Amino acid sequence: MSITTIYAKPKVGKTTLALKGAPKGKTVVLSSDQGLVGIDTTGIQIEEDVSIRNLRKLIKNPAFTRSNERIVVDTATSLYAEMLSEIAGGGSPALQHRGTANNEFALLLRGLRNSKKEIIILAQEKMVMPTEDWVSDDDDEDITASVTADLPQGPHNILMQMSDAIGRLYVANVNDKMVRRLWLTPTPNIVAGTRSRTYDGNPPYLKAPTMARLNDLLGWGPGKSPRRGGIIKKH
């Protein structure tokens, strides 16, 4: 159906968002972060063996994808780090190790996407500072730092390209009350964007976000898929 990537600072509520309203008995979490303490996981399968061998086995198993409607990766940041460490044998990774890890990461995402299920990829957040590679041809363009999913460039690009929606979960202070919002519109400072026939970027964020409300906003109701085409995102 879709791949939704949600990134945020630690303890903002990524996992809670991904699991709220999740279909009991039909949801699985690939848990590399072990961040499920205090979260009600009744009726939810938790898969803590995220070794490359086991991930390959799960994705290739028709029973795994057939029995689950929602698959959550918690988090891609930790999962990729574990993949890289496994491939490098626990030592300092060389360039070839990173290439192999990137391939394994892409194979996992492709396998999840091809399952035709609701895929939610969670990630930590990082700030990216402008570099010489980001210099614009326009002299008057303001180049500033941006926030995005915390992954090295290779897996980051893979995830952004395969995602149908990219959102930044954050906490806003509204009338002295802390509220969660999911930012969905690309800006010079925030990597975000969606594939949607119905959502035009207004409003730029989703109040009191849940996966059901997000899917409704994007027109991804039951049996519907994102349109094919380029995802809007900030580089």
- What is the chain's alpha carbon radius of gyration, rounded to the nearest angstrom? 18
**pLDDT tens digits for 21-35?**
999 999 999 999 877
- Tell me how far apart the 2 most distant CA atoms of the chain are, in Å: 56
Q: Look up the CATH number of domain 2-218.
A: 3.40.50
Q: What angle do CA 92, 94, 100 make, to 5 degrees?
A: 115
Using one digit for the tens of pLDDT, what is the confidence trace for 202-219?
A: 999 999 999 999 999 999
Q: Where are the domains of the chain?
A: 2-218
Between 143 and 156, the more confident residue is 156
Determine the average pLDDT of the residues in 64-89.
96
More confident residue, 145 or 93: 93
Q: How far apart (Å, rounded) are the C-alpha atoms in residues 131 and 162? A: 25
Burial class (CB in 10 A: 0-12, 13-18, 19+), 150: buried
- Supply the pLDDT for residue 223: 53
Asked if residue 133 has pLDDT above 70, the reply is: no
pLDDT digits (tens, 9 = 90+) for 166-180: 999 999 999 999 999
User: Strands, E, within the chain: which ranges?
Assistant: 2-8, 27-31, 45-47, 70-74, 118-128, 146-149, 165-174, 177-183, 193-194, 205-207
Between 142 and 42, the higher pLDDT residue: 42
| pLDDT on residue 228 | 45
Has this prediction a pTM greater than 0.85? yes
The two three-digit tokens of residue 119, written as one number: 């895929």
The pLDDT value given to residue 93: 95
pLDDT at 220: 87
